[in-house]
Amino acid sequence: MSANGCGRLTRSRSSTWEQTLLRSWLGRGPLACLLWPVSLLFRGATACRNWLFDQGLKPSVKTGVPVLVVGNLIAGGAGKTPTVLALVDLLQRQGWCVGLISRGYGRQTQGVRHVHPTSNALDVGDEPLLLARRAQVPVAVGRDRVQAARSLLQAHPDVNLLISDDGLQHRSLHRDLQVLVFDERGIGNGWLLPAGPLRQPLPTACPPCTLVVYNAAQPTTPLPGHLGVRSLQGVVECSRWRAGEAARADALTQLAERSQHEPIWAAAGIAQPHRFFDLLTKAGVRFQPLPLPDHFDFQANLPWPVGSVLIVTEKDAVKLTEPLLGQAEVWVAPLDFHLDAAFAQALKALMNSLSLYPPTTDHGSPTA
């Protein structure tokens, strides 16, 4: 078997095991029950670590600017990236100069890296690169969130608020407020890793200084929160998307018409590919779905036929290089995530209660 064939076999087995584990987390079947004793050890370790932070025996470092953490209690994507993008827009309209920090999952580099729209996803991670391109704000990645925050603030002294993407369990960086994101899975079977999807137990009430967002049609946990609405802006050719051109609704309509008489593929290397496929179907596009593992490496495997018409997510588009683009007609379909007015008001009220105001506004009346 060729080296490429071995790689494909390894990825296939890894993907199969991942899907098996994800399915087991929806219930309390044999596999989940088998792993349950291990989850008790994970629960104990998590509780011990949180106790050390709560008692001040492990320090939470302040950076000198407010820090908002966006995270989820369950493993896998629940919609953090679109929530971060929506928060950047909202906070900028309130007068804040926002910077983003992230771990940079999937990158092949170490230490702190600053992310630019022209960065390589292999160096900084696909999600941070997408955030840098879409949000157009300073972004830094690093396993050590404190170092990443300090590096970003040193390079961009005008930043006066940090958003920590997927930073809920990283308590070494002090946070002033946090946003918990849930999707339609809620808390799954309610067990902690590896018997269930939870990274930490669901609290009995909403924690202090916390807002909850549901990336779903309705709330999926007992915690009170706000609903976000997913939608497609339209589509844009990948080369034009790279140049900063916005997606167009009429282009999506034309692509839907084409799909009635010619084959079109849709690829999604995200945690929940069906969300993307459902939106395309709702838009009237007929396609052959290609659900791929989260953070899929397109350099190692080309999963569609040469010459295909292909629709991808932005998270996938940041990883497509020119040689790959030359083998297909690639369209990018950006996903939008809208937070309602009630969330904006709740966030402003929470920040006011913590005396967090944009420096450019009067304390009594921050920008709407």
Per-residue pLDDT band for 362 (boundaries 50, 70, 90) equals low
pLDDT at 14: 52
Which three-class secondary structure state does DSSP give residue 22? helix
pLDDT at 42: 96
pTM, entire model: 0.90
Single-letter residue type at 281: T
Per-residue pLDDT band for 344 (boundaries 50, 70, 90) equals very high
How are beta strands 113-115 and 98-102 bridged, if at all? Answer: unpaired
Per-residue pLDDT band for 315 (boundaries 50, 70, 90) equals very high
Domain boundaries, the chain: 67-97+160-229+338-353, 234-333
Whether 118 shows a pLDDT value over 70: the answer reads: yes
d(CA 342, CA 244): 31
Whether 321 shows a pLDDT value over 90: the answer reads: no
pLDDT at 75: 87
Residue 118: φ, ψ to 5°: -95, 5
Q: How far apart are the first and last CA of the chain?
A: 61
pLDDT at 359: 86
| Crossing angle of helices 30-54 and 3-24, rounded to 10° | 80
Per-residue pLDDT band for 361 (boundaries 50, 70, 90) equals low
User: What percent of the chain has a predicted confidence (pLDDT) above 90?
Assistant: 76
pLDDT at 363: 55
Q: Closest Cα partner for 255 from 229, 231, 232, 230?
A: 232
Tokens 């920590």 belong to which residue? 164
CB 215 within 8 A of CB 226: no
Whether 250 shows a pLDDT value over 50: the answer reads: yes
Tokens 């990825």 belong to which residue? 11
Per-residue pLDDT band for 323 (boundaries 50, 70, 90) equals low
Q: How many residues would you count in the chain?
A: 368
CB 31 within 8 A of CB 20: yes
d(CA 18, CA 200): 20
